Amino acid sequence: MPNPYGVPISLESAKKAAAAAVAEARKNNWTMAVAITDAAGDLVYFEKMDGTQTGSVNVAIGKARSAALFKRPSKVFQDVVAAGGGGLRILGLEGAVPIDGGLPLVMDGKIVGSICHAGLVLISAGILEGHKSTGSEGIKDDLINAGAEWVDEPAFRDGNLVWGRVVEDIPDFCRELVTAIEAG
């Protein structure tokens, strides 16, 4: 059963989450858009770095909103669509973005917001060489081929990168994310 909704994420906490993502992006000389919504899917904070492709704006917001509205990572929809057949009806579900990267943010067992992130973005950015990583079995080979060491752990930090393996590991991922935000 999905987590219940809690008190919405504050602007201050949303800015801290985005700042950690932007700091990592700057450190690695890549651009990105970061979207953080509250539990209702309404945008709380957004940052688009200079040079980020225009298409990333709506994609980032859509993935974060999808994760909040449907109380699950956007990858769940991606997997259903990829399986084909009756799962293709997901494409008609308003607000469901079937692209990996949107995750609910959970604190004290309740959804307080969501964030858009994706292991595939890091693969595309070419920054995984020498880093530890994890993710679903569906992207394991992609991570390894991008030069990362794949680790079968629920969640962990490698520098400023916070990794979570699968949907069931979201509580572990969120704990790691909160620790990273608090560490600044």
Which residues does residue 5 pair with via DSSP β-bridges, in sequence order? 111
H helix runs in the chain, sequence order: 11-27, 55-69, 75-83, 119-125, 137-145, 170-183
**117 is an active site residue:** yes
The rounded distance, in Å, linking the Cα atoms of 51 and 153 is 34
Q: How far, in Å, CA of 181 to CA of 98, rounded? A: 27
* Among 102, 65, 97, 105, residue whose Cα is nearest residue 80: 97
Between CA 12 and CA 118 the distance in angstroms is 23
Active-site residue (options: 64, 117, 119, 121) = 117
- What residues are annotated to the active site? 117
